[in-house]
Each structure stands twice: as C-alpha cells, then as structure tokens.
C-alpha cells in the first residue's frame, strides 16, 4: 500500500483512497476539498507540469507524483508563509526533492507569487476552502490562471466548499468541457481553458487610497486583493498610529518593528511623521498580498526599511525601541499572544509595545504574562491602544 505521511503524532488519523491503494496519515484528516480532488486524480491523464493551489498539506501533489505526474516538475502555491513552511516540511518527510526557483523534472517548487499568470503549468488543482481569503483575491488568482503563457488548453480542477457565483461565471466564460457537480460538502468545477483572457483585458484589482496623521501630508498607499483592508485604511491601524505619534518620544535612528504590517500603513505613517528621527522600520507579514502591497508602498515612500516575509516573528532580538502590533482575530487570542511573545523577545530594555485591540482586558493579561509592564490604555476610533514597556 502506498503511504503519504503528514504527521508524526502517534494517534494520527489514517484515510484510505484509490480502492484502499493509498493511505494518507494526517493529524485530523484531510480537508474535504483535498479529499475530493485526491479521489478524482486516478481518473485523469497525467500532466507534465501541474500546479497545486490552496492546499495546506501537499498530499495532493505527493499523490500525483505516485501516479506518474510531473515529468517536468510540480509547483505548489500558497499565499501564506506559514503554509509554505508546512508544505516544505511535508515534502521533505515524504522524500520529495524541493527545487530552488522553477520546478525541475520530478521535483517540487514552492511559490507565493501573487499573480498566477507568472506560473507555467499545463494543469491546475485548486482547493477553495472556507476562510481562504477574499472573493476578489480568488477572482484575481483565477484571472491569472486564465491568462499568461500557455493558458490555452490548460486543464483546471477546482474543489470549493462555498463556490462564488461570479467566480463560476468567469470560469465558464473562459473554459470548454465545463463540469459542475456537488459531491457531499464539496462542489467540483472542472474545465479546459479555451478562450484565454488577454493581458490587456484583465481587470485592475490594484487599489490606492490616501491616509494621513493630523498635521502631516497624506500618503497614497497601494493594496492588492487579499491584503487586510484592501482599498481602505484600517481604523485599528489608524488608531495605533495616532496614539503612538502622540505618546511615544523617538530617539534618532530608533528601530521599529511593524508586526503583521499589512500594507505597511502604520510604519509608513510614523516614518513620514518623524523624518528628522530617521527611524529604521522593519515590516513583517506572512501574507503574500500584504507583502506585495507593503513592498510597493516602500518603493513609493522610501525610508530606512526592509520587509520580512515570515510567520515566525523574525527580527533581531533585543534590538527594537518600538514594536507595533495590530493582530488579526479569529475567535481566540492565539495570534495576539504570539505577537506579544514576539514583541517581548524583540524589544530592547525600555522598549515599547504598542498594541491595538477591540477590548483591553485579555491583551493586558497577556502583556503582563510575558513580562511587559502596562503603561496605559488609550481609547481611539472604537479601539483600545495599549502601551507597555519591557
């Protein structure tokens, strides 16, 4: 029996596919979209250069290798740095060769490219699961698959938990041999690109908006689909920037970390507000849309800055005068806690954490638990901005 192993836990879940010819061992079972595409795989003729999108385990690509796909190599794509690391680990655990850059015959390449038109493939599998990102980002990605070199004749195999009507309509308009069918909790959408989308006909999803701090000239910022608060300024981020500008006294050359920076708005506002301080700002985010947005904004508004694409809280320990934190919230405080733990590690003695949240009670608890001293809570724009010292 063929086996794909995605975990080393002793009490893992084992699932059988292909008339019990394949066993997949995972922490809690494959996502229904991945399981549906995995079941579909034996009915398909192998592709030489397949692309796999939206997967968080790599199981589908590993299974394709077992069936003779990938004569010219495999590409696994994700919009997230954390998932990229998981995919890399799972590939290594299953004795797969990971190529640097473009895929090589029989080898796997990892990509976080925002525009899928830049990726060469003759077949694409896409898992569209709940919470995968904005509908606009999905449309932008689909338009990339429907355009670019080699799009004509490209086979597409998508599995969606909640298919978007506009997405399906765009798919049908460009593809022939379209099949749309429901299998349990998953909708399968397959077809062959017959009418590629010309590059000059692709919708422009790049957005700009203006933002400013009181008494300072506005900045024009760029966002791409999938970036937090695409097309607009985030009120939580504005609250954070305003309170820091009013309450924090910078020294020349201070180092600042904008953690979970999104398009870079908060760090950019502060760097522009205090040009005489020559702040050194590091911007960090794990989202590819945020990365491309922030990097473009850093080119538009140059200062002493660098961008770190990571989900691991990179940076120089004990080096920062200020850590800015505007974490996402998904029903619990795990990411917020990670931000606070990272800030405690990165801050120098006497350095400040500036943290924004809807409610202050839980963040205060986490701040104190990580050895930081709360200095104050500042209500602003419906948010609470907390300052704490190391």
Q: Is there a domain that residue 19 lies in?
A: no
Q: Is there a domain that residue 3 lies in?
A: no
Residues 74 and 213 in one domain: no
**What does the alpha-carbon distance between residue 370 and residue 116 come to, in Å, rounded to a whole number?**
41
The string of pLDDT tens digits covering residues 134-167 is: 589 999 999 999 998 799 999 999 999 988 888 9
- pLDDT confidence of 131, banded at 50, 70, 90? low
Residues 196 and 69 in one domain: yes
Residues 195 and 234 in one domain: no
Domain boundary among 173, 201, 229: 201
The string of pLDDT tens digits covering residues 220-278 is: 999 999 999 999 999 999 999 999 999 999 999 999 999 999 999 999 999 999 999 99
Dihedrals phi, psi of 216, to nearest 5 degrees: -125, 155
Domain boundary among 201, 223, 248: 201
Domain count, the chain: 2
The string of pLDDT tens digits covering residues 66-97 is: 999 999 999 999 999 999 999 999 999 999 99
The string of pLDDT tens digits covering residues 16-71 is: 999 999 999 999 999 999 999 999 999 999 999 999 999 999 999 999 999 999 99
Residues 139 and 109 in one domain: yes
Which pLDDT score, from 0 to 100, does residue 149 have? 78
Residues 230 and 184 in one domain: no
Dihedrals phi, psi of 190, to nearest 5 degrees: -130, 155
Which pLDDT score, from 0 to 100, does residue 3 have? 96
Which pLDDT score, from 0 to 100, does residue 133 have? 43
Exposed/middle/buried for residue 389 (C-beta within 10 Å: 0-12, 13-18, 19+): middle
Q: Is there a domain that residue 47 lies in?
A: yes
Strand order of the β-sheet with 155-160 is: 108-111, 74-77, 50-53, 123-128, 155-160, 186-193, 175-183
Which pLDDT score, from 0 to 100, does residue 164 have? 85
For the entire predicted model, the pTM comes to 0.93
Which pLDDT score, from 0 to 100, does residue 100 have? 82
CATH code assigned at 364 = 3.40.50.150
- pLDDT confidence of 334, banded at 50, 70, 90? confident
**Average pLDDT over all residues of the chain:** 94
Exposed/middle/buried for residue 5 (C-beta within 10 Å: 0-12, 13-18, 19+): middle
**What does the alpha-carbon distance between residue 166 and residue 178 come to, in Å, rounded to a whole number?**
15
Q: Render the burial of 111-126: b for 16+ CB within 10 Å, e for the rest.
A: bbebbbbebbbebbbb
- pLDDT confidence of 132, banded at 50, 70, 90? very low
Domain boundary among 166, 201, 236: 201
Host domain of residue 92: 32-201
Query: Which residues are paired to 264 by β-bridges?
Result: none
Concatenate the DSSP letters of all residues of 139-189 into one string.
HHHHHHHTSSTT-TT-EEEEEESS--HHHHHHHHHHEEEEEEEEETTEEEE
Residues 87 and 107 in one domain: yes
Residues 322 and 364 in one domain: yes
Q: Is there a domain that residue 12 lies in?
A: no
Which pLDDT score, from 0 to 100, does residue 171 have? 96
Residue with tokens 């940076």: 315
Residues 283 and 153 in one domain: no
Which pLDDT score, from 0 to 100, does residue 139 have? 93
Residues 241 and 101 in one domain: no
- pLDDT confidence of 288, banded at 50, 70, 90? very high
The string of pLDDT tens digits covering residues 357-375 is: 998 889 999 999 999 999 9
Residues 188 and 229 in one domain: no
Residues 137 and 221 in one domain: no
């Amino acid at each position: 029996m063929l086996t794909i192993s995605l975990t080393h836990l002793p009490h893992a879940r084992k699932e059988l596919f292909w008339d019990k010819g394949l066993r997949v061992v995972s922490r809690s079972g494959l996502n229904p979209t991945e399981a549906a595409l995995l079941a579909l795989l034996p009915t398909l003729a192998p592709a030489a250069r397949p692309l796999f999108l939206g997967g968080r385990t790599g199981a589908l690509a590993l299974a394709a290798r077992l069936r003779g796909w990938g004569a010219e190599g495999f590409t696994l794509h994700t919009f997230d740095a954390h998932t990229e690391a998981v995919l890399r680990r799972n590939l290594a655990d299953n004795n797969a060769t990971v190529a640097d850059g473009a895929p090589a015959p029989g080898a796997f390449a990892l990509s976080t490219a925002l525009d899928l038109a830049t990726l060469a493939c003759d077949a694409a599998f896409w898992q569209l699961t709940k919470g995968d990102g904005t509908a606009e980002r999905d449309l932008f990605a689909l338009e990339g698959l429907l355009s670019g070199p080699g799009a004509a004749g490209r086979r597409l195999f998508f599995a969606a938990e909640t298919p978007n009507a506009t997405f399906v309509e765009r798919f049908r308009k460009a593809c022939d041999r379209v099949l749309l069918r429901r299998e349990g909790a998953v909708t399968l959408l397959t077809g062959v690109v017959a009418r590629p989308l010309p590059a000059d006909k692709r919708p422009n999803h790049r957005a700009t908006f203006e933002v400013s701090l009181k008494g300072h000239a506005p900045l024009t910022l760029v966002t791409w689909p999938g970036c937090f608060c695409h097309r607009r300024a985030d009120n939580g981020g504005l609250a954070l920037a305003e309170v820091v500008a009013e309450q924090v006294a910078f020294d020349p050359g201070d180092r600042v970390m904008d953690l979970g920076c999104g398009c870079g708005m908060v760090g950019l506002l502060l760097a522009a507000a205090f040009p005489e301080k020559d702040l050194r700002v590091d911007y960090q985010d794990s989202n590819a849309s945020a990365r491309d947005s922030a990097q473009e904004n850093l080119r538009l508004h140059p200062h002493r800055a660098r961008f770190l694409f990571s989900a691991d809280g990179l940076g120089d320990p004990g080096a920062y005068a200020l850590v800015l934190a505007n974490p996402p919230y998904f029903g619990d405080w795990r990411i917020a806690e990670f931000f606070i733990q990272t800030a405690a590690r990165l801050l120098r003695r006497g350095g400040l954490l500036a943290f924004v949240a809807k409610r202050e009670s839980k963040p205060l608890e986490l701040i104190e638990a990580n050895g930081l001293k709360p200095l104050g809570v500042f209500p602003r724009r419906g948010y609470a901005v907390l300052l704490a010292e190391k």
